Amino acid sequence: MFERDFMKPGRSVALAENAMAATSHPQATLAALDILRAGGNAVDAAIAAVALQGVVDPHMTGIGGDCFALFTPAGGRPIALNGSGRAPEASHPEFFLEQGMTGISDLSVHSVTIPGAVGAWDYLSATFGRIGLDAILQPAIKAARDGFTVAPRVARDWARYADRLRWHAPAARQFLPGGKAPVTGDRLYNPALANTLEKIAREGRKAFYEGEVAEDIVATLNELGGLHTLADFERARPEIAEPIGVDYRDYRLLECPPNGQGLAALLMARILDGFDLREGKVSPADRIHLLAEAAKSAYRQRDLHIADPDAMMVSLDDLLDETRISAIRSLISLERASPAEALDMPVHKDTVYVSVVDRDGNAISLINSIFASFGSGIYAEASGVLLQNRGSGFSLAEGHPNCIGPSKRPFHTIIPAMVFDGDKPFLSFGVMGGQYQANGHAHFISQVIDRGFDIQMASDQPRSFFTEGAISLEPTISDDIRRDLERRGHRTRIAGEPLGGCQAIMIDHKRGILWGASDHRKDGIALGY
């Protein structure tokens, strides 16, 4: 394993013997650690962290969004939780086409699907947690009631995307005090959200999907022309499934099955598994080139096929068939870029990811999102709920598996991941960043498994992403590498903002040590005890 160069800026990997939490906000990590020290388990800590982030990172996540998780109980088999919401029952494609719509705007009331996060938290807590939602949600309730200070990366994003809030007056009143975005160190409050969280703490999912909270959300949406009903909320339930996985070198990468894009990460991993990416075997430009070539194919398959699993027309086994993957690999030249194809799905970068491993060995990889920055920009003022816009991921193309339909789940970008070494979890990780996530998973595991970096070093490595016909390069990638890529036929651009945000925990079973990492591109931290 490579050692960190302490003469260069950076941070050391976190180490602990009992438990570890990694999040993208320091207060969320501290909340998780407090829960762990107080006797809660990994599930309790993860929910506490992500619920708090719904208060302090409102542009990223919240109870108006969705949730996916991979959970491996100590000594047990992993499960995948799908806490993504469905379109209203009245969402027939003809309704939208008759209005001349060719797509669903990300600031439209029709982009709001039924939020699934609270149902997912309630299920995880009741089934696998130890201390109950009443204790778990206290850090979030306190932050909403007593106020929180705005962190630096949060302030940057808030200012950048403030205009997404201005069209809905209740949202602007809450999130743009005095008509402008808060700056680093400002203190904000959300008493309405605190009240709703307190109800959820007492009553669980029922407090959100039935009664006055659901009534407030539905009334807000109906006033704007939404098709949502109370019955849509009452029907909302998470689903449990078997994770899907593929081999990468001597390990196995696990993802949640569709409607998430984990399949694209698996396709990239299988494509790259056919190339020797060990340190010294390829150049930095080779790595970026091969990652881009794998992304072109995997993301094209993603856009064609991934949808609500009930609507998919091609099986996962067929898409991951080794004969098919080998044929894709054979078309990749190390010297020449293949023709570029634009990605079809909408771009977004706003999600929070949490990883926790507790002293008993329970491991959870959990991701929560309201999709675009500040979601739909629609705010149910009485209940304090900012609503997602995940429905903008639907297609209106007739016959497409991801075409909107009654009670249908849209394509999702958010994907938690785990890597197993034999029958034991080795990595619990996620890489936030919308479309980038599948690419980020492939990049991260290669840095760890192929190059031998510790997980903090792997997270810190410069990133690239083929999207919209060109490779986007973080500015830490040299001009020489950029010219090499252009020589091979790639178009390149310098990324205007950091690509993604990684949180990870590595489990060293032999020595009984947990390694934690939190991306320098966010405000977060990994801590253990």
Give the active site residues: 351
CA torsion through residues 517, 522, 524, 525, sign: positive
Whether residue 390 contacts residue 371, with contact meaning beta carbons closer than 8 Å, is answered with yes
The residues, any chain, with a CB within 8 Å of residue 164's CB and separated by 6 or more, are 107, 372, 373, 374, 377
The percent helix, strand, coil of the chain (3-state, each to 5) is 40, 20, 45
Q: Of the candidates 181, 180, 211, which has an alpha carbon nearest to the alpha carbon of residue 195?
A: 211
CA torsion through residues 454, 455, 457, 461, sign: positive
Q: Of the candidates 40, 208, 23, which has an alpha carbon nearest to the alpha carbon of residue 117?
A: 208
Q: Could you give the CA distance from residue 442 to residue 368 in angstroms, rounded to a whole number?
A: 20
Retrieve residue 474's tokens.
């973080």
Q: Of the candidates 262, 250, 254, which has an alpha carbon nearest to the alpha carbon of residue 440?
A: 262
Q: Could you give the CA distance from residue 166 to residue 24 in angstroms, rounded to a whole number?
A: 26
The residues, any chain, with a CB within 8 Å of residue 366's CB and separated by 6 or more, are 46, 47, 50, 67, 68, 69, 70, 353, 354, 355, 356, 416
CA torsion through residues 135, 136, 139, 143, sign: negative
CA distances 473 to 348, 433, 490, Å, are 17, 14, 12
Residue matched to tokens 């997980």: 455
